[in-house]
A and B are shown apart, each in its own frame.
Chain A
Amino acid sequence: MTEEKDLGLDPGGEFRRRDLIVKAGQGSFLLAAGGLLAACGVQSNSGGSSSGTIKIGFVSPVTGPAAGFGEGDSFVIGLVEEALKGGLEIGGKEYNVEIIQKDGESSPQRSGQVANELINSEEVDIMLTTSTPETTNPVADACEAAHVPCLATTVPWEAFYFGRGAEPGKPSPFKYTYVFCFGTEDFATSYLAMWNQLKTNKKVGALWPNDADGNAIRESLGPLLEKGGYAVVDPGAFPDGLNDFSSQISKFKAEDCQIINSFALPPDFATFWRQAAQQGFRPIIAQIAKTGLFPSQVEALGNQGPNLATAAYWTPTFPYKSIVTKQSSQELADAYTGKTGKQWNQQVGASMALLDGGIEMLKASPNPKDHEKTAKALSKLSYTSLCGPVNFKTGPVPNVSDTPIISAQWVKATSGEFPLDLIIVDNADDPRVPVAAKLKPY
């Protein structure tokens, strides 16, 4: 045995290699089966289980890559349960309300599975679901198939409506599933208004990945930005989980992009942003989506975090109130920080808006235990949510209500216990939301 080259760790040679691959293969099978092993969701009960109990299913990602979205959901559900402790009166009848929360684990398979459990075992009367197409779409599909009224949010409405097989110009294939959320046009409105505040060469570097959101944005947002007078430099769709962005950065540098727009996953954007600094690329406006929704994601970028621009679907300065808990946006944010010790995040408001919608849908139904009647009521639902007015009669397309997304920027906080603050820099998409400051260059 030669000492220098051979470590002698591999006497079996190829057979050992095969072992490793077989084992790795077995491992990936196990990983796929992991969802089955994981524990079931949390069940919470706010009343007795008399015949007059309405069951609401609530599916959101509490674990997995999108877990940040689900972080405040238990808190918000707790508030609603507290407010409905005395029961809910619908059409002169008293009902207990039970909200059953399930974790979709950020996975489409698991989300569909828990939705079916809620429908078949728990026999929920309505379903609420939120946060990313990976969670909302399979849940909505299960509800559509089982004829259970379902309301969704925090999924760009195009991804929810067209992503599940509806076609432009044709009648809606959906009778039970509805969404209120922003869409691509809202992004374009917010971005253009904000970018026009600063003088740039109007060249936008696009960091749009090869996933459902990235490709939808490439097709729909790209042309809208060009129509708004901005040239889009798109180095091409890159896969999620990329560890090196040198090719994108060299393209952006060569084209002198003074604006970048990222729809990359949070860790991918962090990798890109650090590498951009190493390679000496510094745009005037860094417009990020998909990451930067939550304070922790921006804090994690250290001194590269402040002055990133984003767009917000809810902040504590939104001028709307919760219908169920009667809290203003600011009161809800303060209650969240008081209870959890964490800084508010956008999804807290959106999840409350969703629960408000669920209760409004039940109240509008002549018989909340009758799926057909509730679905009919849902199709005409109109209420003012924390994220803005929701109205399913006005469209852009059937089953969809378009809510705003507002231009915002992360800045160093001037007061308070948290290092960063998200402030509104333009309100083109909803003039009722107050503007706090002008956009600062990155």
Chain B
Amino acid sequence: MEYVNAIIQGILLGGLYALFGCGLSLMFGVMRIANLAHGDLAVLAAYMISVLVSALAISSYVALLIVLPLAAVVGWLLQRFILDRSLKSGELAPLLVTFGLAIVIQSMLLEIFSANTKSLSAGSLGTASWKIGTQISIPVFTLMVFVVAILVISGLQLFLSRARTGRAMRATADDADTAGLVGIDARAIYAKATAIAVATAALAGTFFAMRSTFEPSSGPTQLIFAFEVVVIGGLGSLWGTLIGGIVLGVTQTVAGQIDPSYSILAGHFMFLLILAFRPQGIISTQAARA
């Protein structure tokens, strides 16, 4: 029964990982930018929410609704005024820019908010859980995160396959120049993709901040999991990102049940195994096409 509980916790943890991963996946898919500031943008959003919560005395959830559009605007501006320029100067430039951005965000947060640990309140949901027998309990908050992750990923999937902008995004990802011939403005598309990606990062950052604590330097530790999720699941597939999250989460919790010292290591091993034996990821867009 302990293992059943471990697997359940792992699947639910996978939801959070997938939320972290999907924005990264989207940005890499559309613009080929590996956004090293993804984790720091998530932490930035958590700080924005914490400011709103104490200034307006509202709940974290209400503050999240205010911050999500703000995060999208930040993403839009980021792409329009910073990343776009770097995209013209070759492949390494955007990487350097996002790396610099990560340092800027961390130092700025440290300057404004000091190194103090902060956390967001998840309300009574934070510690509530449903018990099944004595061994298994399903935390309401983590379940909610998981459901949100599924909703976000299905929403994005629908958007990309059905909506006009979504289709334009795919066309631009395929071949920006050809898409330009039929009147699709790649720069506008890029800005929209980054806006969505930063909004999902904000969502993930908020849930992370409700689950644990955060400080200015918290971003990079979650970034590595986000990268692994994207690679395990298969690049370019959003469902793959969800599955990658679940695989990583379950690997960590089950290995942790066997021996706690192998928990994170086992996750990294799973990542290496996938790279070695199924480099296209669990869900391969190549296979789907064939």
* Contact surface of A with B, Cβ cutoff 8 Å: 1-11, 13-14, 16-17, 19-21, 23-24, 26-27, 30-31, 34, 37-38, 63-65, 67-68, 70-71, 210, 235-239, 241-248, 250, 266-268, 270-271, 274-275, 277-280, 294, 296-297, 300-302, 304
Q: Which of A9, A63, A71, A238 contacts B285 (CB 8 A)?
A: A9
Q: How far is the CA of A267 from the CA of B119 in the complex (A)?
A: 9
Known A7-B236, A7-B285, A266-B213: A296·B261 in contact at CB below 8 Å: no
> Is the beta-carbon distance between B9 and A296 smaller than 8 angstroms?
no
> Is the beta-carbon distance between B135 and A210 smaller than 8 angstroms?
no
> Is the beta-carbon distance between A244 and B263 smaller than 8 angstroms?
yes
* B32 CB–A CB distance under 8 Å: yes
Which residue of B has the minimal Cβ distance to A291?
A: B117
* B127 CB–A CB distance under 8 Å: yes
Mostly, the B contact residues are helix
A-B contact pairs, 19 of them (CB 8 A): A6-B288, A7-B29, A7-B157, A7-B237, A7-B238, A9-B26, A23-B95, A26-B92, A27-B36, A34-B103, A70-B115, A243-B212, A244-B263, A277-B127, A278-B126, A278-B128, A278-B139, A279-B139, A297-B213
Q: Which of B6, B95, B173, B212 contacts A246 (CB 8 A)?
A: B6
Known A2-B289, A239-B261: A246·B9 in contact at CB below 8 Å: yes
> Is the beta-carbon distance between A13 and B265 smaller than 8 angstroms?
no
Residues facing A in B104-121 (CB within 8 A) are 107, 110, 114-119, 121
* B165 CB–A CB distance under 8 Å: no
Inter-chain contact total with CB atoms closer than 8 Å:
232
Residues facing A in B1-18 (CB within 8 A) are 2, 5-6, 9-10, 13, 16
Residues facing A in B246-286 (CB within 8 A) are 249, 252-253, 256-257, 259-261, 263-265, 275, 279-281, 284-286
Task: Please tell me the size bucket of the interface on B.
Answer: 35 or more
> Is the beta-carbon distance between A24 and B285 smaller than 8 angstroms?
no
Which residues of chain B are within 8 angstroms of A294 by Cβ–Cβ distance? 116-117
> Is the beta-carbon distance between B6 and A13 smaller than 8 angstroms?
no
B250 to chain A, nearest CB (A): 10
Q: How far is the CA of A270 from the CA of B118 in the complex (A)?
A: 10
Q: Which of B259, B264, B281 contacts A17 (CB 8 A)?
A: B281
Most A-side CB within 10 Å, residue of B29, B91, B117, B174: B117
Q: Which of B103, B121, B217 contacts A65 (CB 8 A)?
A: B217
* B61 CB–A CB distance under 8 Å: no
Which residues of chain B are within 8 angstroms of A31 by Cβ–Cβ distance? 36, 99, 220
Q: How far is the CA of A82 from the CA of B260 in the complex (A)?
A: 50
Given A7-B29, A267-B215, 6 other A-B residues pairs in contact with their CB atoms under 8 A: A5-B285, A5-B288, A14-B280, A237-B261, A250-B6, A277-B127
Chain B 38-77, CB-CB to A under 8 Å as 1, else 0, gives 0000000000000000000000000000000000000000
